[in-house]
């Protein structure tokens, strides 16, 4: 039998890619695409190796950080229609600091939007970059919007790698921090991911109440013009709430 043409091969990959938006299990993906399980598995393995898909035993397959990063570049053009762009711009101008938006991709977060601060220094972050959830302001904001049992399951899979001397490396410490985040409405990162960087983040929800993304403001701690997190945090929370309202989320 002749090998499939490049067009057919591409069509198979695109079929799996489209099915991945609705299905997570290999059997369901094969049924949805009409392809053999072996073919779907081979395509998925290549996608996982390339970062376009992720896999774990509990949840099956899902979009990977590179796929989300690519989507984020397009999402950046849509921010204005949902209210995120002007809100993020106001934060950037208010604090002259770097503002990020990120979404969850597997067990990490991926930046989908970045507005650089009006500072002589630049953050090393970039759109499409993956970041840990347990030690970043934006990541902890996303975790705080999850059920505690889901957070515990994630930590069991990933552990809590130490990034700096200030990183929270026990589940109890992380859970306590997430409870504080829920109570005050925003998450803080005081040099937990990178030495010298402080950050405040808050989650965004859509009309169904589902957490869809988070935004944050990052500053250099040694910057004499940096604004205290206790001031930044509530404003980030208010900004996230404004974006959420634009997406149809109910306010309480």
Give the pLDDT of the chain (252 residues) as one tens digit per residue: 333 433 488 888 988 988 887 888 999 999 989 899 999 999 999 998 888 888 888 778 988 777 766 665 555 444 433 567 889 999 999 999 999 999 888 899 988 889 998 888 888 888 888 999 999 999 999 999 999 999 999 999 999 999 999 999 999 999 999 999 999 999 999 999 999 999 999 999 877 787 888 999 999 999 999 999 999 999 999 999 988 888 777 765
Contact (CB, 8 A) for 187 and 200: yes
**pLDDT for position 76:** 45
Residue 104's beta-bridge partner residues?
A: 109
- DSSP 8-state assignment for residue 217: E
**pLDDT for position 42:** 92
Q: What are the tokens at 251?
A: 């306010």
pLDDT digits (tens, 9 = 90+) for 130-143: 999 999 999 999 99
Q: Indicate the CATH number of 6-62 among 3.20.190.10, 3.40.50.1970, 1.10.10.10, 3.40.50.80.
A: 1.10.10.10
pLDDT digits (tens, 9 = 90+) for 204-248: 987 778 788 899 999 999 999 999 999 999 999 999 998 888 877
- DSSP assignment string, 135-167: TSHHHHHHHHTS-HHHHHHHHHHH----SSTT-
* pTM tops 0.95: no
Tell me if 6-62 shares its fold with 65-246: no
In whole angstroms, how far apart are CA 111 and each of 102, 104, 115, 173? 4, 9, 11, 25
Contact (CB, 8 A) for 203 and 145: yes
Contact (CB, 8 A) for 127 and 113: yes
Contact (CB, 8 A) for 88 and 113: yes
Cβ neighbourhood burial of 34 (10 Å; 0-12, 13-18, 19+): exposed
Q: What are the tokens at 134?
A: 């347990």
| CATH class held by domain 65-246 | alpha beta
Contact (CB, 8 A) for 76 and 112: yes
**pLDDT for position 70:** 65
Phi, psi at 122, each rounded to 5°: -125, 140
**What ranges do the domains of the chain cover?**
6-62, 65-246
């Amino acid at each position: 039998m002749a090998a499939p043409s490049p067009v057919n091969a591409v069509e198979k990959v695109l079929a799996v890619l489209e099915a991945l938006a609705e299905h997570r299990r290999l059997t369901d993906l094969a049924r949805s695409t009409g392809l053999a399980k072996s073919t779907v598995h081979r395509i998925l393995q290549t996608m996982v190796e390339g970062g376009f898909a992720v896999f774990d035993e509990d949840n099956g397959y899902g979009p990977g950080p590179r796929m989300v990063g690519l989507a984020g570049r397009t999402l950046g053009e849509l921010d204005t229609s949902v209210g995120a762009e002007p809100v993020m711009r106001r934060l950037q101008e208010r604090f002259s600091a770097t503002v990020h938006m990120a979404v969850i991709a597997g067990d990490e977060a991926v930046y989908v939007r970045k507005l650089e601060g009006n500072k002589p220094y630049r953050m090393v972050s970039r759109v499409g970059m993956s970041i840990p959830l347990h030690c970043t302001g934006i990541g902890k904001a996303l975790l705080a919007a999850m059920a505690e049992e889901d957070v515990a399951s994630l930590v069991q899979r990933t552990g809590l790698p130490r990034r700096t001397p200030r990183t929270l490396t026990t589940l109890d410490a992380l859970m306590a921090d997430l409870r504080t985040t829920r109570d005050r409405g925003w998450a803080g990162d005081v040099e937990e991911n990178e030495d010298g960087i402080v950050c405040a983040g808050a989650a965004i929800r859509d009309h169904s109440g589902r957490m869809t993304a988070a935004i944050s403001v990052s500053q250099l701690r040694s910057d004499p013009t940096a604004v205290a997190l206790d001031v930044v945090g509530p404003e980030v929370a208010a900004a996230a709430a404004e974006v959420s309202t634009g997406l149809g989320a109910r306010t309480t």
